[in-house]
Structure 1
């Protein structure tokens, strides 16, 4: 199993852990299926009233879709299969609050998950970036999700600069992507403390508030997502060219800001 679920029935807090530290908690297709199952199962478990989402180890929360994942695509520019579109809690109709605890790297497809969490707590060593443009890919869904959490100029810079820059936890806190900054290694404990407080309140009011918050940005997200498949079809390099860029690019030390 690459996803762990632990529920503290005394506090009402469930901790969902991406458990592939050797792969930087990258999301292969099995992990995606497991996450969907976990979110759907939590809908029916009243002992879990708030959720913390984190990644195993200190190197990464998640680096997005596993590079080795093979996702067959229909032979049409009008149809695309993206397994990460249904990887998050909201996509699985879970309206219990989810708090993210981030240590290390969070990049690329990780934003499908972070974009569906209520707020993010990050350790001091956390960094955020999006590699899509570096490798000839359109950052579409990730851009739509983060544009609702960060000032436009900040998210535009993150997406356009690719792997050349990483946003530090401090910078992410300053621009509002992260709501609390902790010492390295302390993000999970801090996120769990928040989740414990939330889980102690009447569940119906909490879940209604989560639904209302999501409704405030749902229209813009839906409109942006409707454009994404066409933009990806037009802008992505062929997969062979993407692979060439990925394997042939000389390693460079990213700028941390």
Structure 2
């Protein structure tokens, strides 16, 4: 039995994992899908969440609560990869492996914002389509928030997912942030913490949000133990290819737990 801890991407919530959670639990595994701060049914508002550490606090509290000797398999989707990195840096001894699922994966050389900065630099002019951005003027901790637009979601995130899942997402979406301003000021993740955990990357070949080209660039920038590929999977593989994703996760769990 593996204890999977599932971490969602920006503007989403634990609800994105409902298919995967059901399949893994039916196989006898333990699954914890969490809402990060100001996401899903977490009561905070994005305006109260100033840093990536604030945003990731629910995951850090879960990791701190694990009994001594218990290890979990962390799975981070999209922006959830940065939350994984924070947990890996602080609790490496409690993690059997960390799975980056078409996720932003930092390194232990550059600042924590490096992969997001590279992503922003490479994005084509109209990449974000109807996504809304707003910046506040807080002089100490400025923050830019975002809210994915319907066109962006339909064409970049959910283009191979069932239409019902896109409809549900549009009803449950909440404003989020990349916390780039905050991450750009942080120290690099450590080799002793972050760098010591087994990392596996699952590439989604048909992802139009974080393209497979950029996924492979991140893997080259910070090589991992293992790379798995999911064909015909969009940016939301937990919805477009839940059974295939579960097969990958169980295989990883059996190997590293």
What TM bracket, shorter-length normalisation?
A: 0.3 to 0.5
Q: TM-score scaled by structure 1?
A: 0.35
Larger gyration radius, structure 1 or structure 2? 1
Q: TM-score scaled by structure 2?
A: 0.35
The structure with higher relative contact order (CA 8 Å, sep 6+) is 2
